[in-house]
Amino acid sequence: MDEPILKTNWERFKAHVDLDKAAIEKLLSPYCKIPVKSFSLLSEGCANTNYKINFHDDHPPVVIRIYMREKSALKREVAIHHLISNSVPVPKHYYSDDSCQLYPHAYSIMEWIDGMLMREIVLSGNESAISELVLEAGQYLDQLRCIKFDKGGFFDEQLSVHPFAEDEKYLPYVLSLLNNDSINKSLGETLSHSVKKLVEQNAYLLSDPDNANLTHADYDPANIMVKKIQGKWKIAAILDWEFAYAGTYLMDIGLMLRYSHKLPGYYETRFIEGIEANGFKLPYTWKKQAKLLDLLCLLQLTYSNPSSERPHLNKDVVSLIANTLDNWDSY
């Protein structure tokens, strides 16, 4: 692990919002008026801003989450948490406001989940802890696989699905990205041509887009909170659902295994065991399918993060794309 992995050196998409005590108490006022004892910025993540708030009395701490990308993400995330709260661990939303009257951005007051990011455990190299956690991450992904929708597409704020337009489907969308000058500049002519050839030759592997399940679309150890309970590591919460859509669990597999070539073999093996623990069997071509879908995500990241703006992120993503092509025949 000599090189940074699991997004550890990625630059933020947006700067954190600076809040003082007066601003925090204002945002908290519709929820409670208990005096604030302390607050701290939670520095993880690449876009939204999160603050942990501690109170003077015995009231449990909370998190103020400010949605920096788009305010509609708030209602989608609240609706998804409500949908899955009985099957997948997610923090509670105690109060939310997307009117932007108290504050210029939509925000939510959420349950504070005690623990640490799964990424920290993975980077620690603790084999038994990693094995326990990736197995459970696979089991929860199998739960998401079972939450079905009539068609594939993007959610509105009430989780109604808007079907993919023709140019949003896999092959036309990837090819449109590969025609972008910024992406071609990042990849270089040879790699860009190779990616195009690979997706054109293998897009047939992808499943019917209308065979859709709840897809997190950012499912990785940087978005999973974990803690040790009675001597065993457990997943405490799966975070950051703002990109979720009606798609395929194979994308989430690709995201979780994005860096598996830099991790011990048991990381991938135990994760797949978790997905198949209840009798489901992945298709024979699952890894190629997952890697194709992750290529789409990586190309999106390259488009949104040119090297002139976020050089570390761009370099890492381009290296991941190159690795996928280099190892394609082994998948």
Cα dihedral 307, 309, 310, 311 sign = positive
Percentage of residues of the chain with pLDDT beyond 90: 90
| Structure confidence by residue, pLDDT tens digits, 156-189 | 999 999 999 999 999 999 999 999 999 999 999 9
Among residues of the chain, what percentage have pLDDT more than 70? 99
**Nearest-angstrom CA–CA distance, 178 and 198:** 12
Output the pTM of the full model.
Answer: 0.95
Q: What band does 13 get if pLDDT is binned at 50, 70 and 90?
A: confident
pLDDT in tens, 41-50: 997 777 889 9
3 state DSSP class of 190: helix
Quote the pLDDT of residue 203.
93
Mean of pLDDT values over 266-292: 97
Position 2 scores a pLDDT of 56
Per-residue confidence (pLDDT) for residue 43, from 0 to 100: 77
Q: What is the residue-averaged pLDDT of the chain?
A: 94
Count of alpha carbons within 13 angstroms of residue 60, beta-carbon side: 10
What is the structure's pLDDT at 112?
97
Cβ 53 vs Cβ 80: under 8 Å: no
For residues 7 and 319, what is the distance between their CA atoms, to the nearest angstrom?
13
End-to-end CA distance of the chain: 22
16 band by pLDDT with thresholds 50, 70 and 90 = confident
Q: Which domains does the chain have, with CATH numbers?
A: 21-111 (3.30.200.20), 116-330 (3.90.1200.10)
pLDDT in tens, 73-125: 999 999 999 999 999 999 999 999 999 999 999 999 999 999 999 999 999 99
Do residues 52 and 63 lie in contact, with contact meaning Cβ atoms separated by under 8 Å?
Answer: yes
Per-residue confidence at 1, pLDDT binned at 50, 70, 90?
very low
CA dihedral sign of residues 212, 214, 218, 219: negative
